[in-house]
Amino acid sequence: MKLTFLSLFPEMYQGVFSSSIWKQAEEKGQVTYSVTDFRQYADNKHNKVDDYPFGGGAGMVLRAQPIYDAIESLQLSKDARVVLLCPQGGPHTQEKAEQLASAEEIVFICGHYEGYDERIRSLATDEISIGDYVLTGGELASMVIADSVIRLQSGVLGNEQSAKEDSFQTGLLEHPHYTRPAEFRGMKVPDVLLSGHHRNIEEWRKKESLRRTYERRPDLLEDYDQSDQEEKWLNE
């Protein structure tokens, strides 16, 4: 998978490209990264990428021309996804991450300023927001989305099962985890996890997962297909 970030601040990406799973994924040949500074495509003397809004108002608007030329220079394959980061986009979700994860190529358009010239939106296959708050630019949002996509590439996580059991992938929040020691500062690991009884452990995890979701994110249960047993647990 090829990931390209169109950004005025290429230096923001150096930390993620060279760390942890992102770095390993590139070393294993599963992902390649590049950043295009679209200022270099601006067709005016001072490489200005923004301008005043028609109709007046506060703030500057990102011009269409540098983004169009930068995208054309990339010679994208016809199934490439072009993701525009903006607070007006659809919400980023695990489902969206899975859809994007099957693409061969994704380009992220990261704006700053008050907004995009509306004609930039015609280039996008997806407009995505990472939450109901306004960031200073799309870079951090593009990293969040790319991270959620990279970890779904096959072979990127050591343990494929762990991605399958993630919160959201199952429709529920994940159950609690513990590791050694069995008692830490008076806080004990639940007996069932030390019992070696796999069926009871599975049942405990499922119940805890349901309980957590019920307590913290009851909205997720609206879309979750409960088994009869799960419905009984929820009503206990």
Query: Binding site residues for S-adenosyl-L-methionine, as ranges?
Result: 111, 130-135
How many residues would you count in the chain? 236
The interface region with ligand ADE, picked from 30-38, 44-52, 124-132, 171-179 by CB under 6 A, is 124-132
CA angle 99, 225, 236 (to 5 degrees): 140
> Could you say whether residue 87 binds ligand ADE (CB under 6 A)?
yes
Cβ 102 to ligand ADE, closest distance in Å?
22
> Could you say whether residue 130 binds ligand ADE (CB under 6 A)?
yes
Cβ 38 to ligand ADE, closest distance in Å?
16
Question: What six digits make up the tokens of 165?
Answer: 């059991």
Cis status of the peptide bond prior to 53, with omega within 30 of 0:
no
Residue from 134, 187, 196, 198 in contact with ligand ADE (CB under 6 A): 134
- Cα 225 from chain centroid? 25
Residue from 133, 161, 180, 225 in contact with ligand ADE (CB under 6 A): 133
Cβ proximity of 107 and 134 under 8 Å: no
Residues with a known catalytic role:
87, 114, 151, 166
- Mention every residue, 6+ apart, whose C-beta is less than 8 A from residue 113: 50, 59, 60, 61, 62
Size of the site for ligand ADE (CB under 6 A): 11
Give the footprint of ligand ADE on this chain (CB under 6 A): 85-87, 129-131, 133-135, 138, 141
